[in-house]
Amino acid sequence: MTNKKEPKTYIITEEVLSRIRETVGSQIPETGGILGSSDGKHVDHFYFDVTASVTGATYEPDCDKLNLIIQKWYEKGIEFVGFIHSHPRGAVKPSDPDNLYTTKIMKAFEMEWFVSLIVQVHRSLKGEKAKLFAYGYYLADPCCYFEFGRIDEKNPSFEFPAIDLDADWNCSYQEALAKKYPFSKDELNERNKELFPANVLARKTLVVFGTGGSIGFVLDMARSGVTNFILVDGDKFEPHNMSNQRVTYSDIGKSKVEALKERILNINMEAEVRNFCEFLDNSITDEDFEKLIGDQLHKNSKDILICACTDRFEAQARLAALAMKYGTPFMAPQIYAGGVGAEVAFSYPGVTPSCPRCVLKSRYDAYKNGYKNTVTSECTPISAITHANALEGQIALMLLLYHEGDNRYATMLDKVSNRNLALIKMSPDAENVLGINLFHDAVDDTYSFFGEVVWIPQVPVSEANGFDEDCPLCHGSGDLTTLIGKITDTRRCMEWKE
């Protein structure tokens, strides 16, 4: 394999395009076949994988049969040059599984070039209405395919550009983006430069545990100017995530943190993103957490925002305790069953008198008494999650920019410091479903229906404030800075009283 490649052009013949439309283009999505060339320039051979295992959502090639066809082609001087398969409507790019499959093929056949055609089948299943999109690979690298755009009978050709493998083989994803999109950071931030203090946000770090439903929120932070991210989630994207998370077809099967990292870098290629594909459980000690965050945790803890976006309450409780121990701002969003409502609890040492455990006392008590959560994201509309993400973004900026210069967010927290639980009504029947009257009490029905946000007054949980006992986490002191460095092991957050 040569280290430098000159431009290479392929032209798909009318006969092959016609056969593709008659087969792949005329059937339900997820069928495919292989492509061949007799002269290294024209894609003039196509074999339809008629014996593949297909479901309309998945495609498993008949590898034995395809290998036999490739061998027969080879004997006749026909080169195997690529693969073709169809995707559901709206998915016109290779998915991550597609890229991994391409990697295996290129390694197995020692291919220097690889053509990938994605067919967008028309709802009528009429082949003449199917759309074809061409992609090309030089190397078995999922991040380095070239988009050649749509091809048809009038535009059947596409060209691989020249490339220097010595220069590009070890190129990082960020470096690849920088070569492809030579925009300056100032150009990208032009419209927000008067709104967000870029120099302040550049030193802040967003630590996000749980990166499924929080995708929109995290990307909004990247667009707002946050450049440092730590992402923690042990899960992968599955097909069912498509309905209520900002997932695309190409994300399925991919690590959630890796997929989100790529999206952040596609917004700001200079961002620093550290991702950890793991869950927060008792195998992770407080010392492990310190190593994960780094020196900033002890030097400038107020510059770190811990976001408990996980749907496991035990993990949220642990993160709240970690935020109290190390003196960082904290935010925990939660979507209610069916997306009828949502909440965002938040705290800031020295500003909010009530700790997260004070704010969510009833929930802690319920878990202490044996409650088991059965709520999932089923029947939750994506619009509800988007609504919650928007509020999360505003609250996050309020915490990150607290008393940081002259901007609209700098003094917001002072106005709601004792109301650090925000509830969103996202359905007209939210009060009946949830069994609460807070929205009705706070906003006159004459002017409300749904979409309202109410900020619930909070007091530290203490005997002095009329509770049966002091809060096990903050003791109801009203000053969260007194907890910094005092909690010995946050893994006991659901049981202890320090």
How far lies 103's CA from each of 52, 124, 141, in Å?
20, 33, 7
Residue-level pLDDT at 132: 93
pLDDT tens sequence across 160-209: 877 665 555 455 555 655 555 555 666 666 667 777 888 899 999 999 99
Strands, E assignment, 114-267:
114-120, 131-137, 145-151, 157-160, 163-164, 205-209, 228-232
pLDDT tens sequence across 109-140: 888 889 999 998 887 888 898 999 999 887 64
Give every residue of the chain whose pLDDT is below 50, as ranges. 1-2, 140, 142-143, 169, 496-498
Residue-level pLDDT at 498: 42
**Residue 304 corresponds to which amino acid?**
I
Order of strands, sheet of 79-87, starting from the edge strand that comes earlier in the sequence: 145-151, 131-137, 114-120, 79-87, 32-37, 42-48, 8-12, 157-160
How far lies 223's CA from each of 125, 239, 247, 411, 483, in Å?
40, 27, 18, 22, 34
Residue-level pLDDT at 233: 92
Residue-level pLDDT at 182: 57
- CA neighbor of 416 nearest in space, from 319, 347, 465: 347
Architecture of domain 4-168: 3-Layer(aba) Sandwich (3.40)
Residue-level pLDDT at 4: 59
Q: Where are the domains of the chain?
A: 4-168, 186-492
- CA neighbor of 352 nearest in space, from 246, 250, 463, 474: 474
Residue 117 and residue 149: Cα distance in Å, rounded?
10
How far lies 321's CA from each of 220, 327, 347, 419, 498, in Å?
26, 10, 11, 20, 11
Give the CA count within 13 Å in the CB-facing half-sphere of 44. Answer: 8
Residue-level pLDDT at 454: 92
Residue-level pLDDT at 43: 96
CATH superfamily placement of domain 186-492: NAD(P)-binding Rossmann-like Domain (3.40.50.720)
Q: 138 by DSSP, 3-state: which? A: coil
pTM for the full predicted model: 0.68
Residue-level pLDDT at 164: 63
